[in-house]
Amino acid sequence: MSNFQYGGQVQANGIRQHFLRYGEAKEGRDPVIIVPGITSPAVTWGFVGERFGEHYDTYILDVRGRGLSEASDTLDYSLDAQAADLLAFAEALGLERYSVVGHSMGGRIGIRAAHSKPGAIARLVLLDPPVSGPGRREYPSKLPWYVDSIRMAKKGIQLEEMRTFCPTWTEEQLRLRMQWLHTCDERAIVDSFNGFHTDDFHVDMPYVKVPVMLMIAGRGDVIREEDVTEIKTLLDDLVVSHVPDAGHMIPWDDEEGFYKAFGSFLGTPITSS
C-alpha cells in the first residue's frame, strides 16, 4: 500500500512551490521536509518518501527551478533565496517544528535556513553536501555533466544516452530521470553549481544550535576525513554516519544502508514494515 498522499503547491516567499506529501502526522514525531539536490525534482525522491511516510509526515520539495516549482528567466536562484523558500514553505504549511533532510545542495540550503531562522528547524540531516567554497577544493562533479544532460533531455534523451551519465543506475532509475530532467531550468543549475564555489557553506555552521547529522557516501569523494574533522569544530551537536557502499546518490546505490544510517536520529528508525 502506498504512503503517497498528494502533490500540492503553495505560494511562499513570492513564488509557486510544489511538493509531494507521504504519510500523515504521527504523534510525538516531527514532520520531515526532504530537500533534493541540484538536478533532482521531488518526484525522483518518491521511493524515499514512501519509506519515510511509514514513520513520518513527509514532504518532498521541488526546489525553485526544478520539477513543478516556479522557474523563470529572472528568478533569483541564489542559496539565500532557496533557504528563504524552505522556511516560507514550512510556514505556509503551518509546520511549527520540523526536521530537514537535505541531499547535496539541499544540505547547504538546510544549513543556511537553520542559520537564517534559529529555532525553525528541530533537526537537520546533511546528505553528502558539497564542502567546496571560496578558497577550497572544487566540487568533484563538473558543470558540463549537468548542462549537457539537461539539454539532451529537453530534446528527448534515449535510455542508452542517459546511461552514459549514470552508468550504475537501474533502468527504472534512468527512465525516471529521463522523464523529469527536462524540468530543471538550466540557469538554476548553473547558478547553483557556481554557488557551490562562491557561497561559504562553513560560515553558517557555528550559528546552528540544533542536532545535525552528516551522512557521508563512502564512494562519493565529496567529503573527506579532513572535512569531517573541520566540521566537528564548527557544529556543536554533530553526529556522523557513513554509507560505505554508496556513491553520492546514496539511496540510489544502497537504499537499505541509507535508511539504516539514520539510526534513531530523527526520532525512530526508518525500518521497513
Q: Provide the whole-model pTM.
A: 0.98
Among candidate residues 139, 153, 156, 157, the one with its CA nearest the CA of residue 184: 153
The total domain count for the chain is: 1
Within a domain: residue 187?
A: no
In a domain, 153, yes or no: no
State whether residue 62 is helix, strand or coil.
coil
Which tens digits make up the pLDDT trace of 73-124? 999 999 999 999 999 999 999 999 999 999 999 999 999 999 999 999 999 9
Residue 152 lies in a domain: no
Range of 53's domain? 4-137+198-262
Residue 151 included in any domain: no
In a domain, 150, yes or no: no
CATH code of residue 94: 3.40.50.1820
Q: Report if residue 167 sits inside a domain.
A: no
pLDDT digit string (tens) for the chain, length 273 residues: 899 999 999 999 999 999 999 999 999 999 999 999 999 999 999 999 999 999 999 999 999 999 999 999 999 999 999 999 999 999 999 999 999 999 999 999 999 999 999 999 999 999 999 999 999 999 999 999 999 999 999 999 999 999 999 999 999 999 999 999 999 999 999 999 999 999 999 999 999 999 999 999 999 899 999 999 999 999 999 999 999 999 999 999 999 999 999 999 999 999 886
Report if residue 184 sits inside a domain.
no
Residue partners of 183: CB distance under 8 A and separation at least 6 = 41, 66, 67, 68
Q: How far apart are CA 18 and CA 41, in angstroms?
A: 10
242 lies in some domain:
yes
